[in-house]
Structure 1
């Protein structure tokens, strides 16, 4: 369930409570859902009970308790906990594997995008420093992916190389930070990242947490397993290669159970990591993608997206050798389902890299 879908679910719960006479309020047009704050729990939290308390003439905590059973009766919600003055903390059920893959392939690189920020104006400002401006650029992208109306500014116009090499754009360069805006001040880059080129430089500045000192070195360019950027881009390229190879063999991705055992048969010897619980880590990180984007937007932390993409890559790479049929084996429904799962992982990687401003090559 995406944040947008969960927002609608919360509104439906309010409407049911009104229809059953438990609340006497006008159903709001929007219910804000976001990652839980300090003291919260679960996947998402909403303050709708606090929003409705005054018009309902009841304490917010009581309004939350009224809404809780309505939410629990909704498919896709595993638990609802009321915390603080009346925050509803919602834990989601894991998406069914086939439905999850279908949703990712249907939405493409926009999987995880939503409108939970609903046109809210967010003003971001950064000092005249390359890492701060890269963070500004990426956070603007992610916030817009969640429905925000974003305006960016910086203390001075970006250096020409930052624009041409890193692709940085600022709405209002050379401006003072607005009093109602968010000023981004990550630990500055210790060296000039431009010699690394756009992709490696952006990754070097984004992958560490904002409070950590980034490492500017040629290690980000090395094509080896120890380089997280290489693993992410390599995993994406492998999924695209598998799609091309499958097309040459005459079959296409089709979401479904990934092994014959899931269909009631015996698992084949070549299924490898795809059998049993091997696929679960990948399904978990794919299902988590919308929550990660919402958390990046809420906490202004682009490193969370970078680390999430590494987790997706590390989860999908062991599964890829079992996607195509071996030898004279004919493509089966399980092969088509594995290909769809690989395609979904590649789609998430491409969408995430795009938000980071990093290229996702089909060949590597």
Structure 2
């Protein structure tokens, strides 16, 4: 992990804290990290908590604690320690990418599920309105994936209405995205643009990114490049998005907010689409450990995209 990677990782933690409602501040455009000074711990340090404390209306130590919680399992970090009035000190890992890819491969579509909400019991009344029904059933899936005992007070209906009037014209996937992508208090999206196969369509970008991974794996097999994370890959945006996925799912469950999953899938897809051109050998370039590692990382991204779409009840086609 480079200093630039670390800066981006800390910035992601600030943004998650703001999205979660733990911090009420404007997200800064960047975060400065410096080499650790004598008397400190770790290789790098940041005073971001001190900078945000006044606008957050909290002590720097409180802000540092909020950020440390969200940095604890970040790819590339061996440890995070708070020192002095609220400095964050970072110890780096050298094998974080490999560990992340291994974790995603082992978990498959269930990557990001956990037991943080074990012991939590949540019962909903079955909503009569179609959008509320879809959101509530999606929230139940999110809660259960985090270990909660979630369900409905009466008979739980298996069929979830994704907005019958929209589904007739848009199809299930576009109708679900139109209803789940905005925050529950916001108006549904206009459905017709979601049917256009264009990069301006976020649903298309997410599903297309998954299909690109499937094509890369097929092309890799033809070139005798098999996915295996053997060397560190410089892809901080993609690694950061994949590493953030469990925290995003947990926050979406806690806050009853499926829209957070949809927004995260967009960010993951954008990072993958920017990365995809480097994955396989070009021209006379010979396959190498770097190509195998990039393909393994792309495969992991495809797994996360498929799993996230599944949580929303949306299909992830192999070809578009």
Query: Do they fold alike, i.e. is TM over 0.5?
Result: yes
Q: What secondary structure, in the 3-state scheme, does the structure 1 residue paired with 2:150 have?
A: strand
Larger Rg computed on CA atoms: 1
Question: How far does residue 318 in structure 1 lie from its aligned partner after superposition?
Answer: 1.1
Distance in 2, matches of 1:256 and 1:236, equals 23
Q: What secondary structure, in the 3-state scheme, does the structure 2 residue paired with 1:344 have?
A: helix
Distance in 2, matches of 1:353 and 1:130, equals 20
Distance in 1, matches of 2:252 and 2:92, equals 21
In the other structure, the counterpart of 1:223 is 197
Q: What secondary structure, in the 3-state scheme, does the structure 2 residue paired with 1:306 have?
A: helix
Distance in 2, matches of 1:115 and 1:255, equals 28
Q: What secondary structure, in the 3-state scheme, does the structure 2 residue paired with 1:151 have?
A: strand
1:192 equivalenced with 2:165 (yes/no): yes
Question: How far does residue 330 in structure 1 lie from its aligned partner after superposition?
Answer: 2.2
Distance in 1, matches of 2:232 and 2:215, equals 19
- Whether contact under 8 Å (1:292, 1:304) holds in the other structure is yes
Kindly provide the CA deviation profile for residues 302-358 of structure 1, in whole angstroms up to 9, marking residues without a partner as x. 100000000000111011111111123221100000001101111110110010110
Kindly provide the CA deviation profile for residues 150-201 of structure 1, in whole angstroms up to 9, marking residues without a partner as x. 11258x997xxx93874xxxxxxxxxxxxxxxxxxxxxx7x93212111101
Count of residues paired in the alignment: 248
Summarize the alignment of residues 1-364 of structure 1 with structure 2, pairs less than 5 Å apart: 37=22, 41-42=66-67, 44=69, 76-79=78-81, 96-152=96-152, 163=159, 166=162, 192-194=165-167, 195-257=169-231, 279-364=235-320
- Whether contact under 8 Å (1:286, 1:312) holds in the other structure is yes
Kindly provide the CA deviation profile for residues 252-299 of structure 1, in whole angstroms up to 9, marking residues without a partner as x. 10113356xxxxxxxxxxxxxxxx5xx111111111111101100111
Distance in 2, matches of 1:326 and 1:153, equals 57
Counterparts in 2 of 1:125 and 1:80: CA distance versus 1, 3 Å? farther
Question: How far does residue 43 in structure 1 lie from its aligned partner after superposition?
Answer: 5.9
Distance in 2, matches of 1:345 and 1:228, equals 16
Counterparts in 2 of 1:238 and 1:165: CA distance versus 1, 3 Å? farther
Runs of 4+ in structure 1 off by over 6 angstroms are: 90-95
In the other structure, the counterpart of 2:8 is none
Unaligned 5+ runs, structure 1: 1-34, 46-74, 82-89, 167-188, 260-275
**Aligned alpha-carbon RMSD (Å):** 2.9
Q: What secondary structure, in the 3-state scheme, does the structure 1 residue paired with 2:128 have?
A: coil
Question: Which deviates more, 297-306 or 99-108?
Answer: 99-108
Distance in 1, matches of 2:136 and 2:109, equals 21
Distance in 2, matches of 1:289 and 1:157, equals 28
Counterparts in 2 of 1:331 and 1:236: CA distance versus 1, 3 Å? same
Counterparts in 2 of 1:331 and 1:111: CA distance versus 1, 3 Å? same
Distance in 2, matches of 1:105 and 1:281, equals 19
Unaligned 5+ runs, structure 2: 1-19, 24-57, 71-76
Distance in 2, matches of 1:250 and 1:118, equals 44
Distance in 2, matches of 1:232 and 1:317, equals 9
Q: What is the TM-score when the length of structure 1 is the normalising length? A: 0.62
